[in-house]
Structure 1
Amino acid sequence: MASGFLTLISFFTRIPVGRKITYDENNFKRALSLYSLMGAVIGILLVAVYFLFGRTYIAFLRGLVLTIGYVAITGGIHLDGAADTSDGLFSGRTGERVFEIMSDSHIGAFGVICLIVILLSQFVLFSFADMFTCFLMPVVGRACLAVSCLGKKYAKKTKGMGTTFIESMDMKTVAVNLIFLAIFVVITPYRMIFAVSCFATIAATLFTAGWIEDKIGGMTGDTCGFIIETSQIIFMILVLFLKG
């Protein structure tokens, strides 16, 4: 389990783990129950950034540094997936042509728009978010992805790590990820606001995942990135709205 958790951190972030990690499918599958916990590791680093700039009177400076920090921590891996997903799903094409567009190394107009919207949203939302929201944001994003993959199949014909991730999300794995999320919500001072925001975000994520499944017949690694980035933005918007 520990080796699998380090694999998650190694493959889905740029956090140095101190040793060379080799991919083992069985360890990777077992560690998927800790996917939300990996989000907490990212959240702790974001809180550290928040404390460094939390006393500044220039809110947008804090928002900019947190946005850059998040991209640096994750390596932009989910941003890339979100852009590719937008290019494919909003292209108006169907069938295998959608996957060809998503696999193209060149970014299209919809991908550019998607990146602008995501980064601008993060910049603004981080500028007004408290440290608890910064901590929970990546946890919520990864819990939402776990839920969205439940019962889904890998949409592409070619198999890879995305196949293992998506098709290994069973009820037990999802439940453990949601338990981690619930624990982190309960220990915050705004537990009711966070609980409502999490519930609404998960509902929105299920709707999005269903729409993606209707379009391409399942999920892919790229759509996973799209789910994470959009769910995190939805969560932060809801928190700020409920806090008034």
Structure 2
Amino acid sequence: MRHTRALVDWLRACIAAFQFLTRLPIPVQIDYTERVFQRSAVFYPFVGFVIGLLLLLSAEGLSYILPPMPAAILVLAIWVVLTGGLHLDGLMDTADGILSHRSREQMLEIMKDSRVGAMGVIVCVLHLFLKFSLLYTLLDRQQNGEGSSLLLLLAVIPIWSRWFMVAAIKHWPYARPNSGLGSLFRGVQTGHVVISLLVALLTTTLFIYTSNTTFLPNWSLILGFAAITILAGASMASYISSKLGGLTGDTYGALNELLESVLLIAIILIQMNVL
């Protein structure tokens, strides 16, 4: 009975992760307690795996029937729809706060405002343009037979961007310790980060060994994704934390979005034999 109850608790946490991070229809009522939020972090890379798989299937299907430019736009739209724009909203709020160049307290107040400011819109538009251009490049090379195996790596990106969210929750202080949705994650432990890392490594291995890419040895790609995520993510998280005195729920979303673009750039550079 105890094992069954534990299994149900972890299943509830998995469902909570999908309901929180995606707009996939999962009609199950979950009581969002602090414990559920903490456990759900373990499943973030798995949620990224499912998002990545759906993106890959969309990209493969659209590239067969459309030229690379409209296909890239639709893949990007699907990417946004899958998350309901949750992380983009965090990116815009973070940009509004940090780029206001106000005091720490004023930045946090600006980020709490539900209205989007000029800097948030500018950063969001530029970010989406960057993502679109990278997707277009990837799909264009795939249609020309120059990077078909690397298209599978598109599915790996959401895995690692969401794993770093778990690492950021654990390793950087929370800027609003007694308020905000992100405060529910305060109890995330090192064990949660390690387990989610193992999930990220396992799902990445599955995609990379399926791709049979000849650009780099498989183990180099796996370690490369991990290294780029950690280095880029830690740099961005440290900068944001220095400005705000910690991270918030909005900044977790911003980190996810920015890391997705960084990893897309890395895939293009791999294909061009720059990395």
TM-score by length of 1: 0.92
The gaps in structure 2 that reach 5 residues or longer are 1-9, 139-149
Distance in 1 separating the partners of 2:168 and 2:72: 28
**Matched letter for residue 186 of structure 1:** T
Distance in 2 separating the partners of 1:100 and 1:162: 15
Q: For residues 123-142 of structure 1, what are the structure 2 equivalents within 5 Å?
A: 123-129=132-138, 130-142=150-162
Match of 2:202 in 1: 183
The question of whether the paired residues in 1 share the 8 Å contact of 2:21 and 2:86 is answered with yes
Q: For residues 63-142 of structure 1, what are the structure 2 equivalents within 5 Å?
A: 63-129=72-138, 130-142=150-162
**Matched letter for residue 175 of structure 1:** V
The question of whether the paired residues in 1 share the 8 Å contact of 2:175 and 2:247 is answered with yes
Question: 161, 165, 168: which one pairs with 1:145?
Answer: 165
The CA RMSD measured in Å over matched residues stands at 1.7
**Matched letter for residue 229 of structure 1:** E
Distance in 2 separating the partners of 1:54 and 1:34: 30
- Equivalent pairs counted in the alignment come to 243
| Per-residue deviation, 1:56 | 3.8
**Matched letter for residue 230 of structure 1:** L
Match of 1:216 in 2: 244
Match of 1:154 in 2: 174
Post-superposition Cα deviations, 1:182-201, rounded to whole Å, max 9, x if no partner, equal 12232313433353143123
Indicate the SS of the match to 2:264: helix
**Matched letter for residue 134 of structure 1:** L
Match of 2:4 in 1: none
| Per-residue deviation, 1:212 | 1.1
Question: 19, 31, 36: which one pairs with 1:22?
Answer: 31
Rg larger in structure? 2
| Per-residue deviation, 1:114 | 1.1
Is 1:44 the equivalent of 2:72? Answer: no
Distance in 2 separating the partners of 1:125 and 1:195: 22
For structure 1, which segment, 225-234 or 29-38, has the greater mean C-alpha deviation from structure 2 after superposition?
A: 29-38
Match of 2:187 in 1: 168
| Per-residue deviation, 1:209 | 0.6
Indicate the SS of the match to 1:54: helix
For structure 1, which segment, 58-67 or 148-157, has the greater mean C-alpha deviation from structure 2 after superposition?
A: 148-157
Post-superposition Cα deviations, 1:84-112, rounded to whole Å, max 9, x if no partner, equal 00010111101211111111222122101
Is 1:7 the equivalent of 2:16? Answer: yes
For structure 1, which segment, 186-195 or 134-143, has the greater mean C-alpha deviation from structure 2 after superposition?
A: 186-195
- The change in CA–CA distance for 1:237 and 1:87 in structure 2 (over 3 A counts) is same
The question of whether the paired residues in 2 share the 8 Å contact of 1:151 and 1:169 is answered with no
Is 1:236 the equivalent of 2:264? Answer: yes
| Per-residue deviation, 1:24 | 2.8
Is 1:193 the equivalent of 2:221? Answer: yes
The question of whether the paired residues in 2 share the 8 Å contact of 1:9 and 1:38 is answered with yes
Match of 2:40 in 1: 31
Distance in 2 separating the partners of 1:243 and 1:125: 12
| Per-residue deviation, 1:134 | 2.3
Indicate the SS of the match to 2:64: coil
**Matched letter for residue 217 of structure 1:** G
Determine what percentage of the aligned residue pairs are the same residue.
28
Post-superposition Cα deviations, 1:180-237, rounded to whole Å, max 9, x if no partner, equal 2212232313433353143123201101111111111111011011100000100110
The question of whether the paired residues in 1 share the 8 Å contact of 2:52 and 2:158 is answered with yes
TM-score by length of 2: 0.83
Indicate the SS of the match to 1:159: coil
For structure 1, which segment, 120-129 or 217-226, has the greater mean C-alpha deviation from structure 2 after superposition?
A: 120-129
